[in-house]
């Protein structure tokens, strides 16, 4: 049983058609920095956002810090389009998207039970719309990375969602979508995912199970959510960092992992899932990495990519303590100071 090959071919053709007719890949003028953000990333809704243990305006606050520090003028940010239903169907099943018409279903995925009591039109507008914008941002960021060498989507990184299942605050599989778009539109066939969020990235692992076009390095705390043992089989390089791991141990494990990755695979695009829930004090991640450790971590990954001329897309992913936005902004500022990223292109200077 199962789908016969002609069916699979038809599905692949339909996927390609959808990607080619998408509006998400638009031309960005050189005056813009490859930093993707929209004010509509932020979720603020009748105080309900306060019920989730996170800072739901993290994305806006990261940009405020970058602007205030003079690193990035507001008018250099790139605003993405929202992913449409056709865009989502590139990866997601029709039945999964249909299931999001139940507020209860969405409430379970985002782990905010009161959302289940709201009329679905409100859930669509206030909860799902911000995510659709962030998904559009992740997809566009890959195009920008290919053109400029690097790009940062200030949001995105919903690594627990796969084609037919959401969870852990992740409603749409932006990483899988971004990679499928890159295969078709950027004409590449080798992608590396470096997932350094505290949690295992079971969404992209399920979506690219046994797909040799994707190499996955996942460094995560095995003692916390999602403990998805099936998905773990599809990690190419698995690095476990148990609860309580400190900065020095973490960074030396990362050095080793990058060394192994560079010997194992030569990607044409790197998707870096840079969750900050590894920070000391994060109630979900349970690791003990300090803010300087986050900056060193990001620096190591960017250096790895830039030294090898691999276009890199960074996504901010998990980590929603009040301190996260500041730590992320400081790390981006550090990347700029170390000349690993250039906010102003020579032609747009002055």
* Catalytic status, residue 339: no
Site string for Zn ion, 314-333 (x = CB under 5 A): ----x---------------
Q: Which two tokens stand for residue 211?
A: 């797909």
- Beta strand pairing call for 269-273 and 191-195: parallel
Q: Are 55 and 42 in contact (CB under 8 A)?
A: no
38 vs 202, beta carbon nearer Zn ion: 202
Tell me which H or E stretch contains 293.
Answer: helix 291-307
Question: Residue 183 corresponds to which tokens in the numbers above?
Answer: 């295969």
d(C-alpha 272, C-alpha 125), whole Å: 29
The residue at minimum Cβ distance from Zn ion is 318
Which residues sit opposite 214 in a β-bridge? 191
203 near Zn ion, judged by CB under 5 A? no
- The 160-199 site mask, x for binding Zn ion (CB under 5 A), equals -------------------------------------xxx
- Distance in Å, CB of 275 to Zn ion, minimum: 5
How crowded is residue 29: how many other Cβ atoms within 10 Å of its Cβ? 9
- Min dist CB 122 to Zn ion, Å, is 27
Burial class (CB within 10 angstroms; exposed 0-12, middle 13-18, buried 19+) of 26: exposed
Q: Which residues contact 124 (CB under 8 A, 6 or more apart)?
A: none
Query: Among residue numbers 277 through 296, which ones bind Zn ion (CB under 5 A)?
Result: 277
If the CB atoms of residues 3 and 227 are measured against Zn ion, the closer one turns out to be 227
Query: Shortest gap between Cβ of 272 and Zn ion (angstroms)?
Result: 14
Share in percent of the chain as helix, strand, coil (round to 5): 45, 10, 40
174 versus 277: smaller Cβ distance to Zn ion: 277
Catalytic residue among 92, 159, 160, 180: 160
Which residue's CB is nearer to Zn ion, number 77 or number 315? 315
Stretch of 107-115, 200-208, 276-284, 339-347 contacting Zn ion, by CB under 5 A? 276-284
Residues that bind Zn ion (CB under 5 A): 197-199, 275, 277, 318
**Positions marked catalytic:** 160
């Amino acid at each position: 049983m199962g789908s016969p090959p002609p069916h699979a071919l038809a599905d692949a053709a339909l996927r390609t058609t959808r990607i080619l007719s998408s509006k998400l890949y638009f031309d960005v003028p050189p005056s813009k920095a490859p930093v993707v953000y929209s004010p509509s990333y932020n979720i603020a809704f009748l105080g309900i956002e306060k019920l989730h243990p996170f800072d739901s305006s993290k994305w806006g606050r990261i940009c405020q810090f970058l602007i205030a520090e003079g690193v990035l003028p507001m008018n250099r940010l790139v605003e993405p389009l929202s992913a449409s239903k056709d865009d989502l169907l590139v990866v997601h099943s029709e039945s999964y998207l249909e299931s999001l018409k139940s507020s209860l279903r969405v409430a379970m995925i985002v782990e905010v039970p009161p959302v289940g009591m709201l009329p679905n039109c409100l859930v669509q507008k206030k909860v799902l719309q911000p995510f659709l914008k962030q998904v559009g941002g992740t997809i566009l960021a890959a195009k920008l990375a290919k053109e400029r060498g690097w790009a940062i989507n200030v949001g995105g990184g919903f690594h627990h969602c796969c084609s037919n299942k959401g969870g852990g605050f992740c409603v749409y599989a932006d990483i899988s979508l971004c990679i499928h778009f890159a295969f078709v539109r950027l004409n590449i066939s080798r992608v590396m995912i470096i997932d350094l969020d505290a949690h295992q990235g079971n969404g992209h692992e399920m979506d690219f199970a046994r797909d040799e076009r994707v190499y996955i390095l996942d460094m995560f705390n095995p003692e916390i959510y999602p403990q998805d043992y099936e998905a773990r089989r599809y990690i190419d390089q698995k690095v476990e960092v148990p609860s309580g791991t400190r900065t020095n141990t973490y960074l030396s494990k990362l050095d080793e992992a990058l060394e192994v990755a560079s010997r194992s695979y030569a990607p044409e695009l790197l998707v870096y899932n840079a969750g900050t829930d590894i920070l000391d004090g994060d109630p979900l991640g349970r690791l003990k990495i300090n803010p300087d450790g986050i900056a060193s971590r990001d620096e190591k990954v960017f250096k790895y990519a830039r030294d090898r001329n691999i276009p890199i897309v960074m996504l901010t992913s998990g980590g929603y303590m009040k301190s996260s936005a500041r730590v992320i902004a400081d790390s981006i500022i550090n990347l700029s100071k170390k000349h690993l990223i250039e906010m102003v292109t020579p032609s747009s200077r002055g």
